[in-house]
Amino acid sequence: MTTPDAGAAVQVVEDFFAALTDRDVDRACRYLAPDVVWQNSTLPTLRGLPTVRRALAFANRPALRFEAEMQHITSDGATVLTERIDTLVVGPLRSTFWVCGTFELRDGRITLWRDRFSWGNVAVGTVRATARSLLRR
C-alpha cells in the first residue's frame, strides 16, 4: 500500500540525482539531512552532511563526471528504492555499471543513502571504457 507522501519522497531522490548529474553539489546537499549516512558496498560509511559534502565535492572535479539513469524507482513512503545505471566519466574513460540504492527520508530530506553494486560489474565497465578509449586513438 502506498502512503500519500510516496510521490514526494521519489521526487526528492530524483531531484537529488539531477543535482548530482548537473554537478551542483550545493543543490544536491539541500536534499540531505544534517545527520545523513552514506553507505556504499564495501567502502567506508560516511556520516554527517559535512563529510558527505566533502566527498561529493571531491568527485566534482573538472576531469570527473557522474550520471545516473533511473531504471526503476519506487517508494512506500519514507523509503525509496532505486535501480539505476551509474556512469563515471574520468577523462576519456566512461565506465557504466548497475547500482541498487535505498534512501530513507525524514522531513523531506535524505537521512540514509545506501548503494549496493558489484565490484565485478564496475571492473567490467572500466575494462570496456578503457577498450573503447584505446580503439578511438
Single out the catalytic residue among 35, 76, 86, 107: 86
Is 22 one of the annotated active-site residues of the chain?
A: no
Single out the catalytic residue among 5, 15, 24, 115: 115
Q: How far apart are CA 81 and CA 13, in angstroms?
A: 9
Q: How far is CA 20 from the centre of its chain?
A: 8
Is 86 one of the annotated active-site residues of the chain?
A: yes
The three cell numbers locating residue 82:
532505486
Q: How many residues does the chain have?
A: 137
Residue type, 101: G
Q: Which residues are catalytic?
A: 86, 115
